[in-house]
Structure 1
Amino acid sequence: EAGEGVKFTAQVKNTGNRDGAEVVQVYVRKVGDTEGPLKSLRGFRRVDLKAGESRTVSIELSPDAFEFFDTSTNTMRVVPGEYEIMYGNSSDTPEANKLTVVLR
């Protein structure tokens, strides 16, 4: 529902031979918004991982993560509709790392 947050969860794995860290980034885009940004960084979490370790990472997207400029009201607000959530370790997220949510 519009006005409610979303809990995003992803599995992260260190496939290397050394301990390291990764930053999971979550982007949101309003589908069909031709005047808005292609994607907006709305959440991130740094994760330290030992070599070969996997971990589940959760990032809470608050309701304002879905706020975009609404030209009909000249305000920032959550407009019901379709949104894409993209995730990865950079803004160049693969197409496979995308899911769609519909806010009503």
Structure 2
Amino acid sequence: MAIRYNLWIDPDNVAQHRAVEADLEHYFVERFADYPHIRLFGADPYDYDAPFNRLYDVLMARAAEYCERTWCYVASPEQLNRCFFRAVGRSNKFVRDQPDGDTHQSGA
């Protein structure tokens, strides 16, 4: 199996890796804008049919294709995952179910 990921092939090209990751994060935030508010997992984070989990799978595949098409860059799964969750943290499109299993909530 050949190594495909640009990060592994050329780890010293830090400027390119950072530029691609910044663009990926922006790409994810733009894609989130296409959806109504997305409810994060509640009691069962392993419910693979939950909207958030289905969205994750679809956007990972689309982002990988976007990187290859736009940047001629093959992002590693770790880069895609990190950029996705950074974008989730920055986006106002996600809402959490309450309570989500945390019995020590502040204000309760």
Q: In which range does the TM-score fall when normalised by the shorter chain?
A: under 0.3
Higher strand share: 1
Q: What is the TM-score with the length of structure 2 in the denominator?
A: 0.25
Q: Which structure has the larger Rg?
A: 2
Higher helix share: 2
